Amino acid sequence: MNVIRRLRRKFILISTTTVIIIVVGVLGLVNTIAYMRVYTHIESNLMYLAQNNKNLMPKEMLQNSNSLFGEIDWSENTPDFPYQIRFFSLLMEENGQIKELNLKNIAAFTEKEAIEYASFVLNSGRTTGFFKKDRATYAFLITENKNNDVAIVIMDCTPDISIVEDFMRVSITLGCLSTLLYVIILAILSNFAIKPFVRNVENQKRFITNAGHELKTPIAIISANTEAMELINGKNQWTESILKQVRRLSKMINDLIILAKVGEKTESEIIFTKINFSEIAIEVVKSFEQMAIEQKKQLEYKIEPDVFIKSEGKCLYELINILVDNAVKYCDDGGSVQTELITKKKEVILSVSNNYADGKNVDYSRFFERFYRGDISHSSEKAGYGIGLSIANELVQLLKGKIQVKYIDGRIIFTIKFNL
């Protein structure tokens, strides 16, 4: 059933979206914390290197990081700490003359390369940051001492950055796999989650069908008895009113039964054959000519001849009949109902429109809801219960088409599209 499939898809979509938002939020927060901790660790190492070189920066001029992600300064308690870090430092006078260059603790840079990269970071306009050399990642810190000399420390932080990148890759992969696994499990178990709703819908449809058939008998008896009374006593306003209400009630019951049956059908039960769309459309439109004349409305049609599509004849006939009936019924007095069938590229387009002056503020997105009627004050004078367009929507989905409604220049236009 289309309603059940749509409900199941919506349930899976909403649940999956919720999980994705949570997973993305959690992974984003965890990876941000990991990155900030590594960044703070690298910054603290750069500060340590600058503080422990008297020519670069006196220790009292640099402060330890007070960041939320800061860590205990354990470097002074570890004698081997300086030997674990690969770095070089450069001290430059205010005029650009190199005063000191220390390459003892790194092998990846020659003297020329060290000067080039020092100039590069100095011209970057930042006091701290990262850059790449070959496949390695380096962090730098630029400071000034009391003599206005510029001190540059460049440190190899490849292991730290690699740990963060690996962690990000693993966490994103696990997040994607977890989400995919969740969707698969949810798709399998979703049938159990919506089972009570499915059972309720099936019971409702079964009740409508059974009640409809049961109601037909007393309605037929009322109609027959009323007609017998007219034969004996003649027609009067009371018998005419009874028969009119009986016809309305019969139509409502028939529509409810059709709606229930259409909802029970699946696409696999519909047999598609090549049919003449043009002939069916003309036949339906002409069947409303007398009704339009009686209501003083113009019935116009422009239908391309011999338009063939693969569809199901009865469903297609019922679909067009609902749209034309709705257009004639709700067309303004003295207005026109226009039906047009054209082929455009690889599509067949059927449009049914009618004048409706009060249609500016109508919520057309709800037109295909069951029992919805846009303007109660206007619609109360019309026969109908808001079932027809819902049936039309169900039929269009069964026939693998698309339906939409819009309001342009005082006219309501229903458009149906089928692929050739």
| CATH code of the domain covering residue 325 | 3.30.565.10
Residue 145: pLDDT band (50, 70, 90) is: confident
110 vs 258: which has the higher pLDDT: 110
Q: Evaluate whether residue 299 is within a structural domain.
A: yes
State the pLDDT at residue 223.
86
pLDDT at 13 over 50: yes
The pLDDT mean for the chain works out to 81
Q: Which pair of structure tokens corresponds to residue 83?
A: 């030997």
**What does the DSSP assignment read for 338-352?**
EEEEEEETTEEEEEE
Distance between CA atoms of 290 and 312, rounded to whole angstroms? 27
pLDDT at 419 over 60: yes
Contact of 157 with 132, CB cutoff 8 Å: no
Q: Evaluate whether residue 360 is within a structural domain.
A: yes
Q: Evaluate whether residue 253 is within a structural domain.
A: no
Tens of pLDDT, residue by residue over 325-381, are: 889 988 988 899 999 999 988 899 999 999 988 877 777 777 777 655 555 344 444
Q: Evaluate whether residue 324 is within a structural domain.
A: yes
User: Which residue carries 């069938």 as its tokens?
Assistant: 341
Q: How far, in Å, are 43, 114, 117, 152, 354 from residue 120 at the CA level?
A: 19, 10, 5, 11, 73
With a pLDDT cut of 90, the percent of the chain lying above it is 28
Q: Evaluate whether residue 121 is within a structural domain.
A: no
Distance between CA atoms of 242 and 253, rounded to whole angstroms? 16
- Which of 177-181, 243-247, 357-361 reaches the highest mean pLDDT? 177-181
Contact of 380 with 370, CB cutoff 8 Å: no
54 vs 312: which has the higher pLDDT: 312
* pTM for this prediction: 0.53
Q: Evaluate whether residue 399 is within a structural domain.
A: yes
345: left (phi over 0), alpha (psi -120 to 50) or beta: left
85 vs 280: which has the higher pLDDT: 280
pLDDT at 29 over 80: yes
Identity of residue 260: A
Distance between CA atoms of 356 and 331, rounded to whole angstroms? 6
What's the mean pLDDT in 171-180? Answer: 92
| Domain coverage including residue 331 | 273-419
Q: How far, in Å, are 214, 322, 323 from residue 207 at the CA level?
A: 10, 24, 27
pLDDT at 69 over 60: no
**What does the DSSP assignment read for 45-66?**
HHHHHHHT-TTT--GGG-----
pLDDT at 384 over 50: no
Residue 221: pLDDT band (50, 70, 90) is: confident
Strand partners, 327: none
Residue 41: pLDDT band (50, 70, 90) is: confident
368 vs 411: which has the higher pLDDT: 411
Number of domains in the chain: 1
Q: Evaluate whether residue 278 is within a structural domain.
A: yes
Q: Evaluate whether residue 141 is within a structural domain.
A: no
